[in-house]
């Protein structure tokens, strides 16, 4: 049992993707979500390694998808955040938000909402 630390930058992106994807979050969709939204390259190794570590820390949980996906290919492993994971996620995001709040000049894409 390792000491609980803050989430890393990539871990935050992955956790955010889990929330966005809901019950459709598995390796391929998580990767697409981050590449498309964050406009940032994500290698498969980086993603699965990070997901495995988050699961070890009990920040996410996974379940294997149903068989017979109608078109070949290995079964999907779906991921979701645990309550513990969400608590850490919100703490990390709060810290970032507090430090970034009100900074100008600022890229428009950063503003989270009205």
Residues within the interface to DNA (CB under 7 A): 2-3, 5-11, 26-28, 41-46, 48-50, 52-53, 57, 67-77
Q: Is 28 in the site for a second copy (CB under 8 A)?
A: no
Whether 28 contacts 34, CB under 8 Å: no
- Distance of CA 63 to CAs 1, 18, 55, Å? 22, 14, 11
20 binds, among a second copy, DNA, none (CB under 5 to 8 A by kind): a second copy
Contacts of 113 (CB under 8 A, 6+ apart): none
- Tokens, residue 19: 């929330």
Residue 38: which of 59, 76, 12 has the closest Cα? 12
93 binds, among DNA, a second copy, none (CB under 5 to 8 A by kind): a second copy
**Which of 24, 28, 32, 40 touches a second copy by CB under 8 A?**
40
Residues of this chain that interact with a second copy (CB under 8 A) are 6-10, 12-13, 16-17, 19-20, 34, 37-40, 90, 92-103, 107, 109-114
């Amino acid at each position: 049992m390792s000491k609980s630390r803050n989430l890393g930058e990539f871990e935050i992106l992955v956790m955010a993707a889990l929330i966005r994807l809901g019950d459709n979050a598995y390796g391929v969709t998580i990767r697409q979500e981050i590449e498309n939204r964050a406009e940032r390259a994500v290698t498969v190794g980086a993603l699965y390694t990070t997901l495995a570590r988050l699961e070890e820390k009990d920040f996410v949980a996974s379940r294997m998808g149903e068989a017979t996906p109608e078109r070949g290919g290995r079964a999907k492993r779906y991921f979701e955040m645990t309550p513990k994971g969400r608590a850490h996620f919100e703490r990390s995001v709060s810290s970032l938000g507090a430090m970034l709040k009100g900074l100008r000049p600022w890229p428009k894409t950063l503003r989270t909402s009205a």
